[in-house]
């Protein structure tokens, strides 16, 4: 459950309380679309998370859910199409053309804008990745419609408008945003904010194939190369099953070693809250929260983190949240499942040792038998 | 529009030939934002307490500003800094002048109040077009990656689309610029790696964070900044005829409500720490974790020490 649904007593009143009719030219905009992001041969997992969310919206609206796949002709696109159906799409729009081999704004924005103008969806969802944000911003500008970034909850109100909730004021509050008089209603969602839906093998259904109305010569920007990240060195926080993080309560940069030690002992990824990145104690790719990574681990241990809203929205999807903080009134105890009021600097080594004892080879043998 | 001091700087660059040879013009868009670390929410009314919250230049914009200044160091030319906001946003422009920008333009009008990202990119792109007419067409428009108050990252792409500029977002490095062939090569942060792109001027660049460090302006620049005239434009001054595209009226999105999330129905179960050793508390915590999530024991055991 995300934060907003606990605060909202279900459906918002119609048209966000604004009595205004949708302009005629938008009345035939129907169905929910999800843009599937192809990332060097694979579909970015956020696209599946969005298909799960799009399915719910489409069912509420009693309309269809369509996937949109843009890429080079060939296997990569066909695989993505099959995945779109497996994750709940009723139909898939394809634009496959050689200029779509690598992501560039011009051909992708052109392809998506043309598709929208031809088939007129009422809702269009994209992942809030570097690609999705680059693309969504220009498509929404060309279409002159509303785009709500980094939503943490999507819902449909009683007359069918998209209610998009996102953090605001630097993540200290939440707000619900509507695009009342324009279509499509566009929104982006960060990876891991929505749960991963169940994959169900299904035959490939209805596919609509379109041509790209651009050729390579029309495109100003050329891709000279791509340097893949060193995966082992990069934090894979978003998809980690166990995460340990430290906050300002650790007092000094060197105490982050205590967090790393615990993480190593239990095979977890380590991270931190925003202030530590601002202080330069940890690199930005380790930041957990609204402007950093959203995580959904099975276990999350937060040490010396007070639990500001922008942190809360980034961790609320965790199955089990354990908070360690000296301040019994810290907001983190309002959304953690288990709390310990104690000094993390002293407690972390004890916890690391206790875990090591519990998980020692001897105990492992016991488990295996 | 320049004051005497900045004019001296400009003349100096012309004399050294840099301005004549390559009169590069860079526009950088900045935003004055509340220092979000200091925003407080009223505990009873859940409204934002903005009184007395200090404002800063959006930190992401400083990477763009420094990059613009670095390009001017190499290629010569001028850096114009632009912001849209209330009259008090002039403070942030003066700071930018203090870092070494040549000219500052403040777009301010009550018609801009309540702008969402679409209306903001409309107003800024109109102002950039006007800057182009008045002070020379920009070769590069910079913005920060995003702002710390809105976090949308949508205004940069919006400006690029409206002005038909090549869109280069999340740029980690500007590898080269050739003003003769009008070509630019950049390294761009992409999903899972770095894209090397070649594109053409004019372009819009949103600069990635931690790619440089804002310089300390010289004393002379600080004095200039204090004396400089900030160019102030209303919507009409910026050549905006259609006011229905500005502010609240020009914004397709409507903010229905702003609220603080309510607490979970039950807050955290506290593990009693009174009169217990740290090891005992740790053992108790682990037992509690594994009672709630028995499947974790296998998972932690098999991953530990890796």
The answer for A 157-216 residues in CB contact with B (under 8 A) is 163, 167-182
Contact criterion met (CB below 8 Å) for A72 and A96: yes
* In the predicted structure, residue B123 carries a pLDDT above the cut 90: yes
Return the residue in A340, A341, A352 with the most chain B beta carbons within 10 A, the one to mutate for interface testing: A340
How far apart are the C-alpha atoms of B275 and B278, rounded to whole Å?
A: 10
Select from A179, A322, A342 the Cβ nearest to the Cβ of B252: A179
Tell me how close the Cα of B180 comes to any Cα of chain A, in angstroms. Answer: 16
Domains of chain A: 3-218 (3.40.50.620), 237-368 (3.40.50.1220)
Q: At what angle do helices B117-135 and B155-163 cross, to 10 degrees?
A: 50
Q: Once rounded to an integer, what is the mean pLDDT over residues B77-93?
A: 96
Report the pLDDT value the prediction gives residue A231, as an integer from 0 to 100.
Answer: 66
Nearest-Å Rg of the Cα atoms of chain A is: 22
Structure confidence by residue, pLDDT tens digits, A56-103: 999 999 999 999 999 999 999 999 999 999 999 999 999 999 999 999
Q: Which residues of chain B neighbour A179 with C-beta distances below 8 Å? A: 252-254
Consecutive H or E run containing A36: strand A32-36
What's the pLDDT band for B9 if we cut at 50, 70, 90? low
Write out chain B residues lying below 8 Å of A178, CB-based: 253-254, 256
Q: Where are the alpha helices (H) located in chain A, listed in sequence order?
A: 3-7, 45-61, 75-86, 105-119, 130-143, 256-265, 274-278, 309-315, 332-335, 344-358, 361-368
In this structure, of A7-11, A270-274, B40-44, B49-53, the range with the lowest mean pLDDT score is: A7-11
Q: Residue-wise over A36-70: b if at least 16 C-beta within 10 A, else e?
A: bbbbeeebbbbbbbbbbbbbbbbeebebebbbbbb
Q: Is B197 within 8 Å of A224 when comparing Cβ atoms?
A: yes
| B44: confidence class by pLDDT, cuts 50, 70, 90 | low
User: Cβ–Cβ of B263/A336 closer than 8 Å?
Assistant: no
Of the candidates A273, A286, A272, A318, the one whose C-alpha atom is nearest the C-alpha of residue B289 is A318
Question: What values do phi and psi take at A25, rounded to 5?
Answer: -65, -15
Locus of tokens 């004549």: B20
Query: Any CB–CB contact under 8 A between A130 and chain B?
Result: yes
Measured between CA atoms, how close is A339 to chain B, in angstroms?
A: 5
Instruction: Answer yes or no: do A130 and B259 touch at CB < 8 A.
Output: no
Show Cβ contacts of residue B31 under 8 Å, excluding neighbours closer than 6 positions: B57, B58, B61, B83, B84, B85, B92, B144, B147, B149
Q: Domain B4-245 in CATH: superfamily?
A: HUPs (3.40.50.620)
pLDDT at A177: 95
Q: Are B171 and B206 within 8 A, CB to CB?
A: yes
Which of B123, B161, B191, B266 is the best residue to mutate to test the A interface, defined by the most A CB atoms within 10 Å of its own CB?
A: B191
| Contact between chains at B170 and A291 (C-beta distance less than 8 A) | no
Compute the distance between CA of residue A175 and CA of residue A164 in angstroms, rounded to an integer. 8
Give the C-alpha separation, B19 to B11, whole Å.
9
Q: Count chain A–chain B contacts defined by CB atoms under 8 A.
A: 309
CA nearest to B97, candidates B233, B230, B238, B234: B230
Summarize pLDDT for B249-260 with one digit per residue, the tens.
Answer: 999 999 888 887
Cβ separation B286–A16 shorter than 8 A: no
Residues of A within 8 A of B263 (CB-CB) are 334-335
How much is the pLDDT for A214?
94
pTM here is 0.86
CB-based contact B273 A358, cutoff 8 Å: no
Q: Do B304 and A175 touch (CB under 8 A)?
A: no
| CA gyration radius, chain B | 25
- Tell me what pLDDT residue B47 has: 59
Token readout for B80 is 């114009």
The whole-number pLDDT of residue B178 equals: 94
- On chain A, the residues whose CB falls within 8 A of the CB of B278 are 342, 346-347, 350
Residue B263's pLDDT band, with cuts at 50, 70 and 90, is low
Output the pLDDT for position A15. Answer: 45
- pLDDT for the residue numbered A3: 41
Burial class (CB in 10 A: 0-12, 13-18, 19+), A369: exposed
Distance CA A291, CA B230 (A): 33
CB pair distance less than 8 Å for A347 and B282:
yes
Q: Give the C-alpha distances (Å, rounded to integers) separating B117 from A190, B74, B122, B150.
A: 18, 33, 8, 9
Q: Three-class SS of residue B147?
A: coil
Q: Is pLDDT at B220 greater than 70 in this prediction? A: yes
- Whether A364 and chain B come into contact, CB under 8 Å, resolves to yes
**Chain A CB contacts of B282 below 8 Å:** 347, 350-351, 353-355
Residue A168, Cβ density class (10 Å: 0-12 exposed, 13-18 middle, ≥19 buried): buried
Select from B41, B151, B252 the Cβ nearest to the Cβ of A145: B252
B58-83: average pLDDT: 96
Give the dihedral sign, CA B250/B253/B257/B262: negative
**Per-residue pLDDT at A360:** 75
* β-strand pairing of B32-34 with A320-325: unpaired
Interface confidence, given as ipTM, is 0.85
Distance CA A349, CA A345 (A): 8
What pLDDT does B221 receive?
Answer: 85
Strand A162-168 relative to strand A153-156, pairing: antiparallel
Q: Which of B252, B299, B303, B306 to mutate to test the interface with A (most CBs of A within 10 A)?
A: B252
Residue B297 has a pLDDT of: 85
* CA dist., res. A34 & res. B89, Å (int): 39
Across chain B, mean pLDDT equals 87
Task: Going residue by residue through chain A, which has 369 residues, state the pLDDT in tens, using 9 for 90 and above.
Answer: 344 444 433 333 444 455 568 899 999 999 999 999 998 889 999 999 999 999 999 999 999 999 999 999 999 999 999 999 999 999 999 999 999 999 999 999 999 999 999 999 999 999 999 999 999 999 999 999 999 999 999 999 988 999 999 988 766 788 999 999 999 999 999 999 999 999 999 999 999 999 999 999 999 999 999 998 876 556 688 889 999 999 999 999 999 999 999 999 999 999 999 999 988 999 888 999 988 899 999 999 999 999 988 899 899 889 999 999 999 999 999 999 999 999 999 999 999 999 998 887 655 555 554
pLDDT band for position B298 (50/70/90)? confident
Side by side, which strands form the sheet with A206-210? A147-148, A185-189, A123-127, A32-36, A65-71, A91-96, A206-210
Residue B284 tokens read as 């108790």
Contact A182 B195 (CB under 8 A): no
Predicted confidence at residue A348, as pLDDT, reads: 96
Q: List chain B residues with CB under 8 Å of A171.
A: 36, 151
Segments of chain B assigned to CATH 3.40.50.620: 4-245
With CB atoms and an 8 Å threshold, state whether B253 touches A7: no
The pLDDT value given to residue B159: 98
Quote the tokens at residue A26. Answer: 């938008």
Nearest-by-Cβ selection for B306 from A224, A267, A321: A267
């Amino acid at each position: 459950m995300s934060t907003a649904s606990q605060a909202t007593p279900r459906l918002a009143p119609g048209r966000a309380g604004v009595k205004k009719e949708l302009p005629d030219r938008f009345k035939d905009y129907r169905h929910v679309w999800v843009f599937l992001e192809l990332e060097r041969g694979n579909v970015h997992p956020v696209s599946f998370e969005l298909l799960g969310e799009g399915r719910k919206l489409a069912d509420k609206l009693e309309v269809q859910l369509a996937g949109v796949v843009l890429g080079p002709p060939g296997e990569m696109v066909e695989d993505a199409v099959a995945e779109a159906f497996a994750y709940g799409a009723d139909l898939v729009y394809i634009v496959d053309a050689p200029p779509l081999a690598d992501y560039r704004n011009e051909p992708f924005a052109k392809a998506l804008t043309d598709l929208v103008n031809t088939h007129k969806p009422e809702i269009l969802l994209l992942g809030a990745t570097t690609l999705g944000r680059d693309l969504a911003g220009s498509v929404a500008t060309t279409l002159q419609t509303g785009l709500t970034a980094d939503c943490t909850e999507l819902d449909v109100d009683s007359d069918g408008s998209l209610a998009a909730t996102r953090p605001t004021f630097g993540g200290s509050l939440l707000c619900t945003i509507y695009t009342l008089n324009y279509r499509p209603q566009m929104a982006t969602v960060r990876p891991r904010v929505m749960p991963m839906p169940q994959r169900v093998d299904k035959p490939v259904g209805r596919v609509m194939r379109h041509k790209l109305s651009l050729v390579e010569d029309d495109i100003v920007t050329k891709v000279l190369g791509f340097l893949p990240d060193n995966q082992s060195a990069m934090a894979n926080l978003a998809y980690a099953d166990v995460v340990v993080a430290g906050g300002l309560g650790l007092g000094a940069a060197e105490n982050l070693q205590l967090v790393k030690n615990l993480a190593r002992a239990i095979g977890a990824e380590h991270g931190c809250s925003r202030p530590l990145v601002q202080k330069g104690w940890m690199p930005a790719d380790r930041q957990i929260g609204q402007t950093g990574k959203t995580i959904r681990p099975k276990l999350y241990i937060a040490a010396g983190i007070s639990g500001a809203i922008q942190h809360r929205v980034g961790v609320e999807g965790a199955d089990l949240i354990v908070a360690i903080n000296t301040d019994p009134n810290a907001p983190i105890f309002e959304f953690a499942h288990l709390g310990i009021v104690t000094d993390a600097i002293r407690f972390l080594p004890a916890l690391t040792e206790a875990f090591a004892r519990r998980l020692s080879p001897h105990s492992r043998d016991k488990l295996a038998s | 529009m320049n004051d005497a001091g900045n004019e001296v700087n400009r003349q100096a660059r012309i004399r050294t030939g840099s301005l004549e040879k390559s009169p590069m013009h860079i526009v950088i868009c900045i935003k004055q934002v509340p220092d979000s670390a200091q925003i407080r929410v009223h505990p009873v009314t859940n409204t934002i307490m903005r009184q007395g919250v200090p404002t800063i230049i959006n930190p992401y914009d400083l990477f763009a500003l420094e990059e613009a200044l670095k390009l001017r160091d190499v290629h010569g030319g001028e850096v114009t800094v632009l912001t849209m906001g209330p009259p008090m946003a002039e403070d942030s422009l003066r700071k930018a002048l203090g870092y070494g920008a040549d000219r500052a333009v403040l777009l301010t009008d009550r018609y801009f109040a309540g702008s969402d990202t679409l209306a903001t990119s409309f107003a800024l792109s109109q102002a950039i077009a006007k800057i182009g007419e008045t002070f020379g067409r920009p070769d590069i428009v910079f913005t920060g990656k995003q702002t710390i108050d809105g976090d949308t990252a949508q205004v940069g792409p919006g400006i690029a689309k409206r002005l038909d500029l090549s869109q280069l977002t999340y740029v980690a490095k500007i590898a080269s610029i050739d003003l003769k062939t009008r070509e630019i090569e950049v390294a761009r942060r992409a999903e899972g790696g770095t894209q090397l792109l070649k594109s053409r001027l004019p372009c819009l660049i949103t600069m990635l964070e931690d790619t440089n460090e804002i310089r300390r302006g010289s004393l002379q620049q600080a004095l200039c900044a204090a004396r400089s005239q900030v160019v102030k434009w209303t919507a009409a001054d910026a050549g905006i005829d259609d006011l229905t595209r500005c502010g609240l009226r020009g914004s397709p999105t409507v903010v229905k409500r702003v609220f603080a999330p309510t607490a979970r129905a039950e807050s955290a179960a506290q593990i009693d720490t009174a009169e217990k050793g740290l090891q005992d508390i740790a053992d108790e915590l682990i037992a509690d974790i594994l009672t709630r999530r028995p499947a974790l024991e296998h998972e932690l055991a098999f991953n530990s020490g890796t």
